[in-house]
Amino acid sequence: MPYLSPDETTAILLSLKIALVATLASLPMAIAIAWLLARRQFPGKALLNVLVHLPLVMPPVVTGYLLLIGFGRRGPFGEALEACCGVVLSFRWTGAALAAAVMSFPLTVRAIRLSLEAVDRKLEDAAATLGAAPVFVFLTVTLPLALPGVLAGAVIGFAKALGEFGATITFVSNIPGETQTIASAIYTATQTPGADATTLRLTLIAIVIAAGALALSEYFARRVTGGADRT
């Protein structure tokens, strides 16, 4: 990329890596929680729903701060993770991935939940009469029929993770090469005299990536039918 400085390229590649890891690692849990919210009645369901959606409405700096006191090196989860698996999150790209995952989680869960609710449960009944136990009904009927919505959720989550700024910079700071994403690189550039060109280039790239992801997500979302168009 001839028009990008090495720092800019690093920030872009790092952003992609962080967003990809955040999306893929959180997807199974997003599917599980979306399924619980779409299909099950249980005590505490309203609370779970609120918890999932909190990062969407809280100031991102609050989410970042909570991650810092929970998953920082002295935080209860951070200490446990380091002791058991040698994983350190604070001021590392893995921490940026965690922040991005938490921030994009509500969007992903919402899209998947809607597509699970659209699945025709009569088809699940039919599968049960053919001998499929509930877990296989889910894997062979529910999930395939909800797949466009799952993909739409993953893509919109990926886009959100790419753009995450507030929680990330609070939790893992803004270290070039380790935690400096496109968003925090733009922030740094705006604070640096004479870096207007960098700001503009990165901004354009951020817009293109976001618009592309939105379009892709819409494309998948339009294909959510839940099998209702069967003949």
Residues whose CB falls within 8 Å of the CB of residue 92, separated by 6 or more in sequence, listed in order: 172, 178, 179
Indicate which single residue of 99, 111, 141, 161 sits in contact with another protein (rule: CB under 8 A): 141
Residue pair 159/23 in contact (Cβ under 8 Å)? The answer is no
45 forms part of the interface with another protein (CB under 8 A): no
Residue 210 has a CB neighbour count (10 Å cut-off) of 14
Nearer to another protein, 41 or 231 (CB): 231
The span from the CA of 32 to the CA of 109, in Å, is 9
What one-character DSSP code corresponds to residue 115?
H
231 forms part of the interface with another protein (CB under 8 A): yes
Interaction mask 96-135, another protein, x per CB under 8 A: --------------------------xx-xxxxxxxxxx-
Q: How far is the CB of 139 from another protein (least distance, A)?
A: 11
139 forms part of the interface with another protein (CB under 8 A): no
Closest alpha carbon to 168 in 109, 110, 220, 93: 93
The span from the CA of 117 to the CA of 226, in Å, is 8
Nearer to another protein, 140 or 199 (CB): 140
Paired tokens of 193: 């005299």
41 forms part of the interface with another protein (CB under 8 A): no
Q: Which stretch binds another protein (CB under 8 A): 69-77, 139-147, 178-186, 187-195?
A: 139-147
Instruction: Report the interface residues with another protein, using CB under 8 A.
Output: 122-123, 125-134, 136-137, 140-141, 144-145, 227, 229-231
